[in-house]
Each structure stands twice: as C-alpha cells, then as structure tokens.
Structure 1
Amino acid sequence: MSGRRFKKYHQALLKARGHYVQLTPASGDYGADLILATKGKRIAVQAKGYKKNVGVKAIQEIASAKSHYKSDECWVITNSFFTEQAKKLASSNKI
C-alpha cells in the first residue's frame, strides 16, 4: 500500500470511530499526516506504513508538528514496530 493510501485508510478508519479527520498536504505537512478533532482535543498524527521498524525521525517530526498544529496530543501509528530509541523519545515527549 502506498504511503498516501495508508494515510487515507487511517483517515477513513478514524472517521468511522467518530473523529473529525483532516488529511494534511502530501508534501509540506510539517510532520503530521492527519489532524484529528475529538471531544475538545486536537491530535496530530504521523502515519507510517513501513516494512522496517519506525525510528526516531518519525517521533521528532510529530513532536514538532504538535506545536505547529496547536495540538493537545500527538500520535505515531504504524503497521510495523518502533525502535527502542523511538520508544524512549516518544515516552519522554508524551507521544
């Protein structure tokens, strides 16, 4: 599944779960692929459809997107796993 298709799949999935979901531009997205609005919260989401483990870069990108999009939370979702370094950075940044 292409990266854009992976993002659109999650957009539909999250909408079905009751979230308002906005897809960000394919390029120049400032580190977030989706912006969710739910229960008074704004959530920036990075969606990574990878064959390999997701690394620190994805965590760094969504951490910076949190401020840019004025989000209350940020998530990284994947079909894979996260490296240990990514898990540590995510934990210290409450991602």
Structure 2
Amino acid sequence: MRKRSRRRKKRIPLMPLFFIALSGSIGWYYLESLEGVIASIVLYYILLIGFKIWRKSRRTAKLRKSGIREVDIMKGEEFERFLGELFKRRGFKVSYTATSGDYGADLILKDGQDVIAVQAKRYSSTVGVKAVQEIIGAVKMYNATEAWVVTNSHFTRQAEKLADINDVYLIERDELIDMILNKR
C-alpha cells in the first residue's frame, strides 16, 4: 500500500515581516510620514545586506586562515569551499558543482584554456580507487582537460596506479600542507 504524502502548508517567515514592520513603525514614530516609513524600511534592507556581506567575508577569511588541523575537522562541503579559496588565491577561476549529482567533480578550475575537474576528499583514512574512478567520469562531463583528486589524507597504491594510468593528478596531505603554507 502506498502512503499518502501530506502537503505541507507553506509558512510565511514571520521574523522578516516583524523587522520590516518594526522599522516602518520606527520611521513613522520619528518622522510621522509615509516617506519616513519608506526610508526606514530601505535603511533596514541596506543594513541587512551589509550584515550578510560582512558575515560572508568573515567566513571566507576564516577559511583562508585555516591550516591542516582545521582541515582535518572540516565537513566535506567546508573542505570543498576551503579548496576553492585556496585555488582562487593561486590564480584559478573556481566554480562549484552541485552537492549531489555532481558526476564526480566538486570543483571546476579554469586557468586560461585549461579546465580542471577536482574531486575533494576529506578523509581520516586512506583514499581508495573509487575517488579516482569518479573523477575520470567527470572529465568528459565537464569537458575538462585535467583531473585532480585532493585529500587531506593519503592514497592507496591501487588509487595511485589507476591515477597514473589515466593521467589523474593526486594531491595528498604533504602537498596540500605545502600549498597552504606557500599561499597565505
């Protein structure tokens, strides 16, 4: 038997509406005019956008200051963002793929005519053949000229052999540490 799926009612987020109403009320209180209400709401949005930009820049700065110890405790998506910032500082144009259905690539790097598909693996154990297989499949999907697998750990012998046969560049822990230290 099939279970019926319940349709959820779309909820209107009340907090933003509350702050808009509050800022409009403040504008009315001080200026007692419609222009005061509008000016107050516009000021609210300017402050909100400024706060979001500041918060994003703080998050980016935190990623840039991360070392290998911080990398070791990151989640997978944080590690991808960290690598994106690291490669941006090295002169690449970075784009991120979707978190699911990414066809094996987490980052796409562009450097002139070169397109590099990158698989990011933040592991506490060694990285196996599967990561290399995934990035090999991503090369054609993204029309990449190169394929890289980057990890904070090390690769198994089988992964190294498969990467060597398929011209996949492997960046393991020691080289990642060098990249972090050389590009602060």
Shorter-chain TM-score range: over 0.9
Q: Does 1:9 align with 2:82?
A: yes
Q: 1:65 & 1:40 partners in 2: Cα distance?
A: 18
Alignment of 1:68-83 (within 5 A): 68-83=141-156
Q: How many residue pairs align between the two structures?
A: 95
Q: Of 19, 23, 26, which residue of structure 1 is paired with 2:92?
A: 19
- The code of the aligned residue for 2:131 comes to A
Q: Secondary structure at the match of 1:76?
A: strand
- The code of the aligned residue for 2:161 comes to K
- The code of the aligned residue for 1:89 comes to L
Q: Which runs of 5+ in 1 are unaligned?
A: none
| Higher RCO (C-alpha 8 Å, min separation 6) | 1
Alignment of 1:1-95 (within 5 A): 1-95=74-168
**% identical equivalent positions:** 53
- C-alpha distance after superposition, 1:18-47 (max 9, x if no partner): 100001111000000000000210000001
Shift of 1:52: 0.5
TM-score by length of 1: 0.99
What root-mean-square deviation, in Å, do the aligned CA atoms of Structure 1 and Structure 2 show? 0.4
- C-alpha distance after superposition, 1:41-73 (max 9, x if no partner): 000000100001000000000000001100000
Higher relative strand content: 1
Q: 2:141 & 2:112 partners in 1: Cα distance?
A: 20
Q: Which runs of 5+ in 2 are unaligned?
A: 1-73, 169-184
- The code of the aligned residue for 2:87 comes to L
Instruction: Find runs of 4+ consecutive structure 1 residues off by over 4 angstroms.
Output: none
Q: Which has the larger radius of gyration?
A: 2
Q: 1:21 & 1:53 partners in 2: Cα distance?
A: 26
Q: 2:80 & 2:93 partners in 1: Cα distance?
A: 14
Q: 2:96 & 2:127 partners in 1: Cα distance?
A: 21
Q: Secondary structure at the match of 2:87?
A: helix
Q: 2:112 & 2:128 partners in 1: Cα distance?
A: 30
Q: Secondary structure at the match of 1:66?
A: helix
